[in-house]
Amino acid sequence: MNNSPINYPGAVVSVQWLAEHRHQPHIRIVDATVHLPDTGRDAKAEFLQEHIPGAGFFDLSVIANPNNPLPRKFPPKDIFIREVGKLGIDNQTHVVAYDTPGLYSAARVWWLFRQYGYDHVSILDGGLKSWKTHGLAVEAGTVDFVPSQFHVDHERDLLALWQHVLTISGNGNEQLLDARTAGRFAGTEVDRYPGARPGHIPNSMNLYWADLLNTNTRELLPLNEVRDRITKSGIDLTKPVTLTCGSGLTACILALGLHLLGKDDWKVYDGSWDEWGRTAELPVATSA
């Protein structure tokens, strides 16, 4: 349990909710936007041009493991504590994370905190896109925070490494769900990660992460539709599931969807296809 006076509204908050509550001193808004190299976009530069007033930049390339050659991998506890503290976040803070596309990378912030035992984190439904659509103000430049001390009291078991994934892929006792596009999953579409083989982890199922979002608003679909799309992918909600994607970002959206359905026996495969697809020793399947 978190020792906090926060009246936690849940894992997702609306633009209207944030507009009404953002001035409260215990709320810290963070922009966790990530743009992959093939987009040609710079998330930090865009943040400096415009962001929700009072937001800090939650840099997922810095709050990461510096000893892992792959970008944005799960951060060691000391790095997480240090960098989160720089954003003025302590164990009395309600963190609200967003990204510029609506929902793409912000769910990873929610997952990182949950793995480190902290629950008072929400995703802004629709992100900056929805904020601006509602005609709300943005600001430019940087925001300075008084550093805080964040404590990790316990860790959860929500992080999967390739060894675990290889085991469950082989024995079929647990489920694997891949958040990439159907074409990348099938191996018929060129992968976004140069050097990665085409295809997917054997015995995994597929649900494109964006299929949980409204195409226009980029907000999450109603829960009955989220449930329907997850179950139609072949997932049995009574059994554990490990989630994977391209680099460990959008798998967290599937995790968020499962959490909202009351299902928390899942893990996120941090390395995802960026790791698995490049590792020749690991098996790959393609769709006919």
- Residues tagged active-site: 245
Q: Spell out a b/e string for 121-153, using b for 16 or more CB atoms within 10 Å of the CB, else e.
A: bbbbbbbbbbbbeeebeeeeeebeeeebebebe
How much is the CA Rg of the chain, to the nearest whole Å?
18
Express the helix, strand and coil content of the chain in percent, nearest 5 each.
Answer: 30, 15, 55
| Distance separating alpha carbons of residues 160 and 157, to the nearest angstrom | 8
| Distance separating alpha carbons of residues 272 and 121, to the nearest angstrom | 24
3-state secondary structure of 213: strand
Q: Which amino acid is at 166?
A: L
Is 271 in contact with 70 (CB distance < 8 Å)?
Answer: yes
DSSP letter for each residue of 224-244: HHHHHHHHHTT--TTS-EEEE
Rounded to 10 degrees, the C-alpha dihedral 178/179/184/190 comes to -130
Helices 251-260 & 223-232, crossing angle to 10 degrees?
A: 120
The two three-digit tokens of residue 274, written as one number: 């960026």
